Amino acid sequence: EVQLVEIGGGLIQPGGSLRLSCAASGFIVSSNYMNWVRQAPGKGLEWVSIIYSGGATYYADSVKGRFTISRDNSKNMLYLQMNSLRDEDTAVYYCARGNYIDVWGKGTTVTVSS
């Protein structure tokens, strides 16, 4: 079964760092475009970052320079390293496959608050 499971959310203080992980099953992460998409409480979807199968990465302006997307091919995992976290980064973070996104994880909640 094709599945994505996000791990690593939690409560973090402003200025702190957090790493989200996404475990994929049923397909190969490195052969696909993989994204992080977030949704702030009561708000719409916001695309965060993508890593292409060839390794190129792109970011939303709101996280550029603070977040880093990566993958571990041997573990079939996707990651999002989040540094210098701000209140406005509070959201449910989804791991998602594809340029049109056909597989979504259930999401993990990140709360940035003092």
Partner 1 sequence: DIVMTQSPDSLAVSLGERATINCKSSQSVLYRSNNQNYLGWYQQKPGQPPKLLIYWASTRESGVPDRFSGSGSGTDFTLTISSLQAEDVAVYYCQQYYAPPLTFGGGTRVEIK
Least distance CB 43 / partner 1 (angstroms): 9
User: Which lies closer to partner 1 via its Cβ, residue 32 or residue 35?
Assistant: 35
Residues that bind partner 1 (CB under 8 A): 35, 44-47, 50, 58-61, 94, 99-102, 104-107
Least distance CB 33 / partner 1 (angstroms): 9
User: Which lies closer to partner 1 via its Cβ, residue 12 or residue 50?
Assistant: 50
Least distance CB 78 / partner 1 (angstroms): 15
The per-residue DSSP string of 54-105 comes to: TS-EEE-TTTTTTEEEEEETTTTEEEEEE-S--GGG-EEEEEEETTTT-EE-
Least distance CB 13 / partner 1 (angstroms): 27
User: Which lies closer to partner 1 via its Cβ, residue 28 or residue 58?
Assistant: 58
